[in-house]
Amino acid sequence: MKNSLPVLISLLLFSCQEMPKEVKEAAPSIQKQVMANPVPNIAIDSTITLAYIMGRFDPVKHPDFVLVKPPYSDGNSRYLHKDTWASFKKMYEAAKKDGITLTIRSATRNFEAQKGIWEAKWTGERKVQGGENLAKSTPIPKERALKILRWSSMPGSSRHHWGTDIDINDFENSYFEKGQGLKEYNWLVANAPAFGFCQPYTPKGPGGRPDGYNEEKWHWSYIPLAKPLSDQAKLRLKNEEITGFKGAETAVSIDIKNKFVLGINEDCL
């Protein structure tokens, strides 16, 4: 993760066969990664680990994370990266002046937390939209995974791993389409970008995103931190390495990386 004095190995990548000078001087493991994944215009940032991108850390113990308490959150131990938190707090105060209350309902969820959500839906312990028990209704693994993926990420592939993404006020689009919810949403659309926040899950379909999760009017992402993380995910995350939970074998055929991790509003990329 970036800190105030990043030890950044900036490797410019070229789609040529020869190893660039910057790559030759890097550690062998990074050389191997760079040459195996030639993505133009994205540099390996050695301060960001793949473990971090995949949520394999404990935000409670991570030095860059802070606990977000009420009134900023609903009080259920919400953690954010300190930079996301600093900007959210400014946005919260600005919204308050306009009569808008922004309450964080979900924030960082690491691999284990996401695994809990995913497997509860996978096993039918937790019903999905419409009260459906997927273990009973959907025996084919890929179909079951795709139903969960309408609203929930596979562990290892969620933006909520990063400390950059928050869910605000409600988990239904309909809430944000009338009354106070609509006022809140309109305020966010008009003002959140000035604080670095972007809505990654905009409407899907013709004229919108072709892939990824359904629209989520409540989910906002702090782009100054999230963009470098999605760049690193683009460069280094592999579907084959998304493992360690029920149904993980479907990650490759679904192409979680390109369809879901990168299948976001282009304004947030």
Collapsing DSSP states into helix, strand and coil, what is residue 169? coil
Task: For residue 87, give the amino acid letter.
Answer: S
Tell me whether residue 11 or residue 166 sits nearer to Zn ion (CB atom): 166
Q: Which residues contact 27 (CB under 8 A, 6 or more apart)?
A: 46
- Binding range to Zn ion, per CB under 5 A, among 61-69, 107-115, 135-143, 163-171: 163-171
Tell me whether residue 87 or residue 158 sits nearer to Zn ion (CB atom): 158
Distances 39 to 14, 31, 42 between C-alpha atoms, Å: 8, 13, 6
Tell me whether residue 214 or residue 253 sits nearer to Zn ion (CB atom): 214
Q: Which long-range contacts (CB under 8 A, 24 or more apart) does 57-61 make?
A: 57/110, 58/110, 59/108, 59/110, 59/163
* Structure tokens, 112: 């284990």
CB of residue 226 to Zn ion, shortest distance in Å? 12
219 near Zn ion, judged by CB under 5 A: yes
Total number of residues that touch Zn ion (CB under 5 A): 2
CB of residue 67 to Zn ion, shortest distance in Å? 19
* Structure tokens, 125: 């312990």
Q: Are 134 and 149 in contact (CB under 8 A)?
A: no
**Packed helices 141-148 and 111-123: angle between N→C axes, nearest 10 degrees:** 120
Pick out residues in 57-116 that bind Zn ion (CB under 5 A). none
Tell me whether residue 209 or residue 219 sits nearer to Zn ion (CB atom): 219
Chosen residue from 167, 184, 215, 231 binding Zn ion by CB under 5 A: 167
Q: Are 118 and 253 in contact (CB under 8 A)?
A: no
- Binding range to Zn ion, per CB under 5 A, among 23-31, 169-177, 217-225, 257-265: 217-225
- Binding range to Zn ion, per CB under 5 A, among 15-23, 27-35, 125-133, 159-167: 159-167
Tell me whether residue 13 or residue 68 sits nearer to Zn ion (CB atom): 68
Q: Are 25 and 37 in contact (CB under 8 A)?
A: no
Which residue number has the CB closest to Zn ion? Answer: 219
CB of residue 167 to Zn ion, shortest distance in Å? 4
Sheet strands (E) in the chain: 65-68, 78-81, 104-106, 165-168, 197-198, 219-222
CB of residue 221 to Zn ion, shortest distance in Å? 9
CB of residue 234 to Zn ion, shortest distance in Å? 20
* Structure tokens, 200: 């990654």
- Binding range to Zn ion, per CB under 5 A, among 122-130, 138-146, 213-221, 222-230: 213-221
Q: Are 19 and 35 in contact (CB under 8 A)?
A: yes
Tell me whether residue 78 or residue 147 sits nearer to Zn ion (CB atom): 78
Q: By CB under 5 A, name the binding residues for Zn ion.
A: 167, 219
